[in-house]
């Protein structure tokens, strides 16, 4: 059987019991290096996925899953922002099961004092980044691009929001000891790390600053 397993936003305490049990019974565990290397996988075959090899490796993993349990570990929850992977999964032609996890979005909303009913999620951490569009009075939660050029393009777009007086928060390494959540200027995004998100809030009707639950992470 093939499993797509959400392993949480970073802090190992956010990994669900179901995810741990699923990973334990899988003979093969695949995923991005930044995800796989934070898991305990002694004695398992480990496959590192990259933008270059993922098409071929996913086909190979799908074939392998017909005879043994194979896990694809993903950051957070696969149904929240890993839409490109899920599209590829649907095209593999083999049965698979999604094991839901705690998404970075849950944590980002808690840090920003927001809820899912008042935000729009936009993922630019993809080979086909989603475009930023006007969304009325709802805040934007943007998963930052993985490449420097993409982050520069995002910074340019954020300048438009900054000029309108919108609050822009950069969230880095959520739930990890290196977590930072701070009021940002657009150029800060160009220096953002791999596990980053931006919250843009232009509304006066919902909180514009992080809550006290940031645990001292605001700088």
Tell me the per-residue pLDDT of 26-74, one tens digit each, with 9 for 90 and over. 999 999 999 999 999 999 999 999 989 999 999 999 999 999 999 999 9
Are 135 and 120 spatial neighbours (Cβ–Cβ below 8 Å)? Answer: yes
Around 45, how many Cα atoms within 13 Å sit in the side-chain half-sphere? 11
Burial profile 15-45: b = 16 or more Cβ within 10 angstroms, e = fewer:
bbeebeebbeebebbbbbeebbebbebeebe
Q: Averaged over 23-27, what is the pLDDT?
A: 96
Residue among 79, 210, 205, 203 at smallest CA distance from 135: 203
Around 132, how many Cα atoms within 13 Å sit in the side-chain half-sphere? 23
**pLDDT of 217 higher than 80:** no
Q: Kindly indicate the confidence band of residue 7, based on its pLDDT and cuts at 50, 70 and 90.
A: very high
Model pLDDT for residues 68-95, shown as the tens digit of each residue:
999 999 999 999 978 889 999 999 999 9
What pLDDT is attached to residue 126?
82
Rounded Cα distance, 67 and 1, in Å: 8
Percent residues over pLDDT 70 in the chain: 93
Q: Kindly indicate the confidence band of residue 219, based on its pLDDT and cuts at 50, 70 and 90.
A: very low
What pLDDT is attached to residue 208?
52
What CA–CA distances, in Å, run from 55 to 30, 38, 84, 128, 183?
A: 13, 23, 11, 15, 38
Model pLDDT for residues 97-121, shown as the tens digit of each residue:
999 999 999 999 999 999 999 999 9
Torsions phi, psi for 164 (to 5 deg):
-90, 0
What pLDDT is attached to residue 213?
42
Higher pLDDT, 131 or 215: 131
Are 167 and 201 spatial neighbours (Cβ–Cβ below 8 Å)? Answer: yes
What pLDDT is attached to residue 24?
96
Q: Is 2 exposed, middle or buried (0-12, 13-18, 19+ CB in 10 A)?
A: buried
What pLDDT is attached to residue 48?
97
What pLDDT is attached to residue 35?
93
Rounded Cα distance, 124 and 78, in Å: 15
Mean pLDDT of the chain: 90
Specify the DSSP element, H or E, that contains 122: strand 119-123
Residue among 195, 3, 213 at smallest CA distance from 104: 195
Rounded Cα distance, 77 and 75, in Å: 6
Handedness of CA 153, 108, 30, 55 (dihedral sign): negative
| Entry pTM | 0.85
């Amino acid at each position: 059987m093939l499993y797509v397993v959400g392993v949480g936003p970073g802090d190992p305490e956010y990994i669900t019991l179901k995810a741990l049990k699923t990973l334990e019974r899988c003979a093969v565990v695949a995923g991005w290096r930044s995800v796989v290397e934070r898991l305990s996988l002694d004695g398992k075959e480990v496959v590192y996925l990259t933008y270059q090899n993922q098409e071929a490796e996913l086909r190979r993993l799908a074939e392998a899953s017909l005879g043994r349990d194979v896990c694809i570990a993903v950051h957070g929850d696969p149904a929240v922002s890993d839409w490109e992977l899920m599209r590829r999964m649907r095209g593999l032609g083999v049965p698979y099961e999604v094991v839901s996890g705690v998404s970075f979005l849950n944590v980002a909303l808690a840090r920003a004092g927001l809820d899912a009913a008042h935000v729009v999620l936009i993922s630019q951490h993809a080979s086909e980044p989603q475009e930023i569009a006007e969304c009325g009075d709802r805040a934007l939660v943007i998963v930052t691009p993985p490449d420097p050029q993409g982050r520069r393009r995002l910074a340019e777009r954020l300048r438009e929001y900054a000029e309108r007086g919108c609050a822009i928060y950069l969230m880095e390494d959520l739930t990890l000891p290196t977590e930072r959540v701070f009021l940002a200027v657009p150029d800060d995004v160009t220096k953002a790390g791999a596990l980053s998100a931006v919250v843009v809030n232009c509304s006066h009707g919902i909180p514009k600053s992080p809550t006290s639950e940031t645990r001292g992470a605001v700088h």
